[in-house]
Chains A and B, each alone.
Chain A
């Protein structure tokens, strides 16, 4: 509608010509600290717990998930790592869904959503999820509880390392979401309430 009009106003105000070259932007500021993997795992667990999430490091992810979903219904993503851990085959877990409507109905009714994560950020306790045929958006969003099972090798130091590994996330996905703790609000009287629209319970399992 107003494309040319708006761009023209901008150029006139800035004194620039159409297509005029621009100087280089300031160099991106990326600082990646050296942190051992053990320290990253420790920081990841500590941060998630500080946000009232549950966090464990275990070799037996299957055992943890089995106990966590006992008597509940769960939807698991198609992440190969979940199958590797033997989680997709557990009783009460639906997996392998590729249809949008079907997945949405399942997620709206399920008690727990189980995913992996593409990366995790140790210094903030963040899960990084890229939408793909393996990971749908709704599984970490609609059910009231979210369990993420992450191999420890995927734990990065923080945002700087993430954006140095993925300088252009849009090349590989339409949606990258950083999840830092359970859904929360403090909109009424600044009182913290968890689970307002997204999952109020978050469990991170580092394998």
Chain B
């Protein structure tokens, strides 16, 4: 475990207020999801999951075909598709377009994909103003933090922290009423929307047969981002494509329910190209940036490529006993929770944070709630094996191997095993938490030792 991962996890564990915030927020989202998918709420839930999984599998297995179909249809409607291999190419594209059009102000709606490549920082480095407009993301941009949760980005912040932040960054008087804080952000951002030259959004789905970008949101900021400025750029991972508009009847039923327990999010936008002749408003230019950024590295492995089925609902975070204790910022990259634990090692290499696939109790809850049935527990196991095969933990490997070999030997010698147990019980647990197991013991209390072993009790019965 890197010191960074351990340190941040520990800091979160000892922060009682933060623990309460994470536990309450994820607990609430978890309950809402259960109410929205179980029993009569959605009788064909399991069938929809199976269908969503089959659709994702088919699309990812034939990804090049669907991307090309998507591209053709975007062009038919007057839009343009730009493939980018990494964040530099994305920012180069946006910068050159902004320069050609003389644009300075960009409004952004929430997109985990742009978080991957730090798009705001890259654009601001070159003198553009790029403003997040989702309330949570706006708060985080002011605070210079990355999202704490895929769906609820500012889950860890209190109204008092927001009040301090707004006072400092927006130069307004302290305001601790959440409705008024929201109204304040609305007023600031409304001016940005009306003045912006370019709107950058993410995408929840790319629809191949329509050349359409589908965006799901609750606030209306994505609608404003995609329809107020004259240029709309959608940035999406290549894995977001689905075959047909009709498949949305499957995915939309699952996404909002799994994320927040809503039947549908407030706004679902299905956008295909710039405004057409006769349409009164909408952008004049429409671009879709298809980002690789490491995704093609996940494709060769036939099992692990299912990690790309993820529709970013966040249900696995809310249900995960590890995420609910260590929170979002302990994770080493933008994706946190179980899905982060399988995406990060595959995008960044297992050496990036070798402890990540091990930071799981393998309870299986994440796989259980996944609306597209990604077998996260199995992939975690495979990644553990990958970590072992890599050199990252070789030093510790030897000691671990020796330990397990000694244990196996002891287990196959019943008399010695019993004797060792007797000696162990008479000595008790080591009083100090030092030594080779020190790190493991530092966060755990061992159970009291019984006076007699099970074998002894059995014989005496």
Of all chain B residues, the one with the shortest Cβ separation from A136 is B280
Q: Is the beta-carbon distance between A196 and B278 smaller than 8 angstroms? A: no
B19 beta carbon closer than 8 Å to chain A? no
Q: Is the beta-carbon distance between B292 and A2 smaller than 8 angstroms? A: yes
Residues of B within 8 A of A14 (CB): 61-64, 299
Q: Is the beta-carbon distance between A197 and B245 smaller than 8 angstroms? A: no
Q: Is the beta-carbon distance between A183 and B55 smaller than 8 angstroms? A: no
B24-69 CB contacts (< 8 Å) to partner A: 24-25, 28, 44, 47-48, 51, 54-55, 58-59, 61-65, 67-68
Of all chain A residues, the one with the shortest Cβ separation from B300 is A13
**Closest CB in chain A relative to B439 CB, distance in Å:** 35
B82 beta carbon closer than 8 Å to chain A? yes
Residues of B within 8 A of A13 (CB): 296, 299-300
Distance of A12 Cα from B31 Cα, bound (Å)? 43
The 8 Å CB contact of A183, one of B162, B194, B220, is B220
Known contacts: A2-B83, A176-B270. The answer to whether A185 contacts B219 by CB under 8 A is: yes
Q: Is the beta-carbon distance between B249 and A29 smaller than 8 angstroms? A: yes
A1-37 CB contacts (< 8 Å) to partner B: 1-3, 5-7, 9-11, 13-14, 16, 18, 20, 22-23, 25-26, 28-31
- With a 10 A CB-CB cut-off, give which of A133, A175, A190 has the most chain B CB atoms: A175
B262 beta carbon closer than 8 Å to chain A? yes
Q: Using an 8 Å CB-CB cutoff, how does the interface string of B279-293 with A read, 1 for contact, 0 for none? A: 111100010001010
Q: Is the beta-carbon distance between A175 and B64 smaller than 8 angstroms? A: no
Residues of A within 8 A of B218 (CB): 183-186
**Closest CB in chain A relative to B217 CB, distance in Å:** 9
B324 beta carbon closer than 8 Å to chain A? no
Of all chain A residues, the one with the shortest Cβ separation from B277 is A133
The 8 Å CB contact of A193, one of B182, B194, B271, B292, is B182
Q: Is the beta-carbon distance between B270 and A177 smaller than 8 angstroms? A: yes
Residues of A within 8 A of B65 (CB): 16, 20, 22
Of all chain A residues, the one with the shortest Cβ separation from B274 is A174
Distance of A138 Cα from B220 Cα, bound (Å)? 11
A160 beta carbon closer than 8 Å to chain B? yes
B138-181 CB contacts (< 8 Å) to partner A: 139, 152-155, 157-159, 162, 178-179, 181
Q: Using an 8 Å CB-CB cutoff, how does the interface string of B426-453 with A read, 1 for contact, 0 for none? A: 0000000000000000000000000000
Q: Is the beta-carbon distance between B186 and A197 smaller than 8 angstroms? A: yes
B345 beta carbon closer than 8 Å to chain A? no
A159 beta carbon closer than 8 Å to chain B? yes
B128 beta carbon closer than 8 Å to chain A? no
**Closest CB in chain A relative to B286 CB, distance in Å:** 8
Of all chain B residues, the one with the shortest Cβ separation from A3 is B83
Residues of A within 8 A of B193 (CB): 197
Q: Is the beta-carbon distance between B244 and A167 smaller than 8 angstroms? A: yes
A182 beta carbon closer than 8 Å to chain B? yes
Known contacts: A131-B275, A180-B264, A184-B218. The answer to whether A26 contacts B64 by CB under 8 A is: no
The 8 Å CB contact of A169, one of B212, B275, B276, is B212
Residues of A within 8 A of B286 (CB): 174
Residues of B within 8 A of A178 (CB): 264, 267-270
Q: Is the beta-carbon distance between A175 and B270 smaller than 8 angstroms? A: yes
Q: Is the beta-carbon distance between A7 and B68 smaller than 8 angstroms? A: yes
Q: List 17 A-B contacts (CB under 8 A).
A: A6-B290, A6-B292, A13-B296, A14-B61, A20-B65, A124-B263, A137-B223, A141-B220, A163-B249, A168-B210, A180-B263, A183-B220, A183-B266, A184-B218, A187-B136, A197-B220, A198-B219
A residues whose Cβ falls under 8 Å from a Cβ of B: 1-3, 5-7, 9-11, 13-14, 16, 18, 20, 22-23, 25-26, 28-31, 47, 78, 97-100, 103-104, 108, 123-126, 131-133, 136-138, 141, 159-160, 162-164, 166-170, 173-191, 193, 195-199
**Extra 14 A-B pairs, beta carbons < 8 Å, given A183-B220, A185-B182:** A1-B83, A30-B246, A98-B280, A100-B281, A103-B280, A126-B264, A137-B227, A170-B210, A174-B77, A174-B273, A174-B286, A177-B223, A180-B262, A180-B267
B residues whose Cβ falls under 8 Å from a Cβ of A: 21, 24-25, 28, 44, 47-48, 51, 54-55, 58-59, 61-65, 67-68, 73, 77, 82-85, 89, 92-93, 133-136, 139, 152-155, 157-159, 162, 178-179, 181-182, 185-186, 189-190, 193-194, 207, 209-212, 218-221, 223-224, 227-228, 238, 243-250, 252-253, 260, 262-276, 278-282, 286, 290, 292, 296, 299-300
